Amino acid sequence: MARTSERITDRSAVRRLHDRLGFGPRAGDLDVGFDATLDRLLAPAAPVVPPELGAPPQQPARDDREARKAANKARVAQEKVLLSWWLDRMVAEPTAAERLTWFWHGHFATSSQKVRSPQLMLAQNQTLRRHALGSFTDLARAMVVDGAMIRWLDGNDNRKGSPNENLAREFLELFTLGIGHYTETDVFEGARALTGWTVRRTSPQPRLVPARHDAGSKTIFGRAGRYDAKGFADLALAQTASAPYVAGRLWFRLVSPAPPSAAVRRRLQQAYGERRDVRALVRAVATDPAFTDTASTLVKQPVEWAVGLLRALGVRPSALDDMTRLRLAAGLRGMGQLPLRPPSVGGWPSGAGWLTTAAGVARLHVAQLVAKHADLRALEQGDRVDGVRALLGVDAWSDRTRQALSGLRDPRQLAAVAACAPEYVVSG
Amino acid sequence: MDNLTRRRFLTMSGVTAAGALAVGATRVDWSDLMTAAVDDPLDAGDAVLVVVTLYGGNDGLNTVVPAADRAYQDARPDLAYQPDEVLDLGEGLGLNPGLKGLKELWDDESLAIVRGVGYPKPDRSHFRSMAIWQTAAPEGAVSTGWLGRWLDAAGGDPLLAVSVEPTLPPLLAGATTAAASMPVGGLKLPGGRLGSAFAALGTSAAGEERWRAEVARSVADLHSAVRVLGGAMHEQPDQQDEEQDEERTKGASAGGSSQLARQLDLVAGLVEAGVPTRAYSVSLGGFDTHADERGTQQRLLTELDTALSGFVRRMRTSDRGQQVVVLVYSEFGRRVHANGSDGTDHGTAGPMFLIGDRVGGGFHGQQPSLTDLADGDLKATTDFRDVYAAVLGDVLGAEPERVLDGHTGRLDGLIRA
């Protein structure tokens, strides 16, 4: 696919860095240069204090309807605490580690709907966070024995003599290799390697129950051995299809729905290297000429759009009242993307999948909600239309949008409608 | 993009239960079509198709159960239903005890069961198999859904098909047309200056970048949709998570929605209001029953049964509703043998349901053998495209071969003239 490529301006490139490696720019961010911005984004994140969720609710007796209802209610409340905490982290954190934590959540997509344990979801979040910019080897090894993942993909039922293939299959198909790069034998034998990993209700710490583990020889990718979970993960990662797959997934979410060219792919793989270094991979993505190509546009995912808006307008979720936070979560659900609740293990859709009629209504409601809680005094005088452009970090308005916004006097209405403009919904 | 690149791209995008296939689609002037829709409401004689997708791989053998078959009992001793538990349909088969409403429809001859439906060289990946069913292309990389291609062929009116889910399923994405999507909660837009400014964002800007142009178009589409459909909507509170208990969510890792009754309620309202939509898509998730299957599946089937029988009863009370045909499918059945965690792993062929007054009730297709298996799996006896062909031809009045890439098979007698 040959085409003459054009570059975006330096200032737009800094804005794009914030959009893609972070959650969008804040006031003043665009006055810093590209290299300094990239270094700051890729710097180690400060240690994170996890939220206090409290203990899991007591497991009620099966026939006690009231107790079951109460336990469900307590769990839902804990999940809300976790969600608000995470959204607040995304708004507050100035480094790429937070954005990559979010990326990996979509990659190793696990839903609280089935896991039914905010404690396990938090533990998984901590693991994604720890390895967000580290080695994919460590991340993949950790996720194949992660408690939430085990419950999500039926690991508890995967026992010696009766392997359950769910986790082994998705690990190969969605997490490490992509479809077409493994056989049914690899799935079956891989499931055997994962037997015995179990997570209990009482602890977020999964463990290997030796009596349930099949320690016999397995043949995976044509090699025989007494493989365990780590051995299985390592075999998958060693396949030649793995590095391009992982780099391609990252590219798809951070740069463009168009796959990288062969030359770009080679550069990315070289950076990723034998250590499977995610930070180096992300740096290679951001410094590749294709990153600043005008054609590398993306529809922001709803969470990225909403968090970016909260950042730009200086609204911290932790400072909002419970009802507003609930409405924010309902709005994200309406747009089709609630963190901790991906629609399936395949993760979230992309591109036009976010531009449904249903999502459009929810987007406007969320924009109004955020604008209502923002300090918008800067928009009370002067060229308000240009003021809201600068506030949101948009490169330029089209005549269409300038005209649409020109009739609005109320700063809150102005900010809400501007946030729904194509120039803000799409990361140019 | 060549086919291989396209396929890799779709794989990377995780095709999944989403509109990834719609990438590069939709070039429609909604407001013109909306005006036509107001001028030209659904004809009372026009049939309407409602597609129900069961995500996760519904276990066909425990849905239409060969309870008296020795091989069935031997393959899954702890999972099997006994002959006195199932709702007898004859020919040695019975419905899952959760499907009481469907049994009544069967007795009314309003339920057709197509047995052993699948496709050649079955794929056990949820995503690949669902993509095959939704694109109707078992062989290769096709980027459009079967109803999307029907939309293209029918003249590109996106209101002809509506998804009552938050995201657009690939089956509704064509090359040039994507269906509209309606939220279960209804559409409500603000008025006043804010409303006018928001509506003005839907104006196209000359030479605009492709995705921005799509955002603008989606805003315009939204306003047109609200104009036409707004009256049919009603606000309902979102379903509380507290109501979902564990058995309901046990098989949830393969996607799909959880509010089938409400989705169908909305569809019923749209049909009754005379919206000129000919195809609707709804879904129910949770069928990926790798463990503790019996309770989970029976609960889901009961939910399906309650939602479907309520919908069909309501549809019978209006002329337009009597033209509705419901089609129910899942991406695959499950293995014949249980897996040792009282569940079943991904398998192959399964039954399809067609429901409605216009349906030729009774069995269609052959029941697959439980002893002549392929690698432990049922051998499909009917190609799903034969069923699509019947629906395309006899419900939607289309030329099936054109939509199904030259596929010529067609199941006769499924839809009454």
| Nearest-CB residue to A352 (from B193, B214, B254) | B214
Locate the chain A residue with the closest alpha carbon to B18.
Answer: A349
Q: Per residue in B201-242, pLDDT tens? A: 999 998 999 999 999 988 987 887 666 554 333 333 333 444
**CB burial readout A95-130, b (16+ within 10 A) else e:** bbbbbbbbbbbbbbbbbbbbbbbbbbbbbbbebbbe
Task: Using an 8 Å CB-CB cutoff, list chain B residues near A79.
Answer: 241
What confidence score (pLDDT) does residue B320 get? 81
Residue B203 in 3-state DSSP? Answer: coil
Residue in B162, B187, B211, B245 to test binding to A, most A beta-carbons within 10 Å: B211
What confidence score (pLDDT) does residue B243 get? 44
Weakest-pLDDT range from A71-80, A419-428, B97-106, B255-264: B255-264
The whole-number average pLDDT for the span B307-335 is 92
Task: Using an 8 Å CB-CB cutoff, list chain A residues near B129.
Answer: none
What is the C-alpha to C-alpha distance for residues A199 and A219, in angstroms, rounded to an integer? 26
> Given an 8 Å threshold on Cβ–Cβ distance, is A405 in contact with B167?
no
Q: How many DSSP H helices and E strands does chain B contain?
A: 13, 12
Q: Flag residues of chain A having pLDDT under 50.
A: 1-2
Whether residue B234 lies within 8 A of chain A, CB to CB, comes out as: no
Interface of A with B in 151-170 (CB under 8 A): 152-154, 156-159, 161-166, 169-170
H or E stretch at B220: helix B210-229
Residue B95 in 3-state DSSP? Answer: strand
Whether residue B113 lies within 8 A of chain A, CB to CB, comes out as: no
Sorting pLDDT into bands at 50, 70 and 90, what band is B350?
Answer: very high
With CA atoms as reference, report the closest residue to A19 among A301, A374, A261.
A301
pLDDT at residue B38 is higher than 60: no
What confidence score (pLDDT) does residue B175 get? 82
Sorting pLDDT into bands at 50, 70 and 90, what band is B318?
Answer: confident
Q: Per residue in A272-331, pLDDT tens? A: 999 999 999 999 999 999 999 999 999 999 999 999 999 999 999 999 998 899 889 888
Task: Using an 8 Å CB-CB cutoff, list chain B residues near A1.
Answer: 1
Weakest-pLDDT range from B23-37, B64-78, B198-212: B23-37
What confidence score (pLDDT) does residue A211 get? 96
Interface of A with B in 264-323 (CB under 8 A): 294, 297-299
Whether residue B35 lies within 8 A of chain A, CB to CB, comes out as: no
A167: left (phi over 0), alpha (psi -120 to 50) or beta: alpha
What confidence score (pLDDT) does residue A4 get? 57
What confidence score (pLDDT) does residue B30 get? 32
Task: Using an 8 Å CB-CB cutoff, list chain A residues near B214.
Answer: 299, 352, 355
Higher pLDDT, B247 or B287: B287
Residue B146 makes CB contacts below 8 A (sequence gap 6+) with B134, B135, B136, B171, B388, B392, B403, B404
What is the C-alpha to C-alpha distance for residues B348 and B129, in angstroms, rounded to an integer? 9
What is the C-alpha to C-alpha distance for residues B222 and B220, in angstroms, rounded to an integer? 5
pLDDT at residue B336 is higher than 70: yes
> Given an 8 Å threshold on Cβ–Cβ distance, is B23 in contact with A165?
no
Whether residue B8 lies within 8 A of chain A, CB to CB, comes out as: yes
Sorting pLDDT into bands at 50, 70 and 90, what band is B44?
Answer: confident
Higher pLDDT, B251 or A415: A415
* Average pLDDT value over all residues in chain B: 82
A302-312 helix and A384-392 helix, angle to the nearest 10 degrees: 120
What is the C-alpha to C-alpha distance for residues A213 and A227, in angstroms, rounded to an integer? 11
Contact B147, B161 (CB under 8 A): yes
CA A24 to each of CA A306, A312, B40: distance values in angstroms, whole numbers, following the listed order: 10, 8, 46
> Given an 8 Å threshold on Cβ–Cβ distance, is B339 in contact with A180?
no
What is the C-alpha to C-alpha distance for residues A97 and A348, in angstroms, rounded to an integer? 20
Interface of A with B in 384-403 (CB under 8 A): 398-401, 403
Helices (H), B24-174: 30-39, 70-75, 100-107, 126-135, 146-153
Tell me, rounded to whole angstroms, the distance of Cα B100 from its chain centroid.
21
N residues, chain B: 417
> Given an 8 Å threshold on Cβ–Cβ distance, is A116 in contact with B126?
no
Contact B362, B353 (CB under 8 A): no
Higher pLDDT, A273 or B155: A273
Whether residue A150 lies within 8 A of chain B, CB to CB, comes out as: no
pLDDT at residue B12 is higher than 90: no
Min distance B380 CA to chain A CA atoms (Å):
19
Interface pTM, i.e. ipTM: 0.91
Residue A270 in 3-state DSSP? Answer: helix
pLDDT at residue B4 is higher than 80: no
| Nearest-CB residue to A417 (from B198, B241, B244) | B198
Whether residue A76 lies within 8 A of chain B, CB to CB, comes out as: yes
Q: Per residue in B372-383, pLDDT tens? A: 999 889 999 999
Sorting pLDDT into bands at 50, 70 and 90, what band is B184?
Answer: low
Residue in B3, B28, B201, B275 to test binding to A, most A beta-carbons within 10 Å: B201
What confidence score (pLDDT) does residue A369 get? 95
Interface of B with A in 183-212 (CB under 8 A): 183, 185, 187-190, 193-194, 196-198, 200-201, 203-205, 208-212
Whether residue B31 lies within 8 A of chain A, CB to CB, comes out as: no
Whether residue B4 lies within 8 A of chain A, CB to CB, comes out as: no
What confidence score (pLDDT) does residue B233 get? 39
Beta strands at B93-95 and B87-90: parallel, antiparallel or unpaired: antiparallel
Sorting pLDDT into bands at 50, 70 and 90, what band is B7?
Answer: very low
Contact B258, B248 (CB under 8 A): yes
Tokens of B247: 């058995």
Residue A129 makes CB contacts below 8 A (sequence gap 6+) with A45, A48, A97, A101
Residue in B126, B134, B167 to test binding to A, most A beta-carbons within 10 Å: B167
- A 10 A CB-CB count for B170 gives 29
What confidence score (pLDDT) does residue A362 get? 84
The position carrying tokens 């005549």 is A399
Tell me, rounded to whole angstroms, the distance of Cα B394 from its chain centroid.
18
What is the C-alpha to C-alpha distance for residues A174 and A188, in angstroms, rounded to an integer? 16
Task: Using an 8 Å CB-CB cutoff, list chain B residues near A349.
Answer: 13-14, 16-20, 167
CA B396 to each of CA B205, B307, B324, B334, B415: distance values in angstroms, whole numbers, following the listed order: 36, 23, 11, 31, 11
> Given an 8 Å threshold on Cβ–Cβ distance, is B198 in contact with A420?
yes
With CA atoms as reference, report the closest residue to B391 among B364, B357, B354.
B354
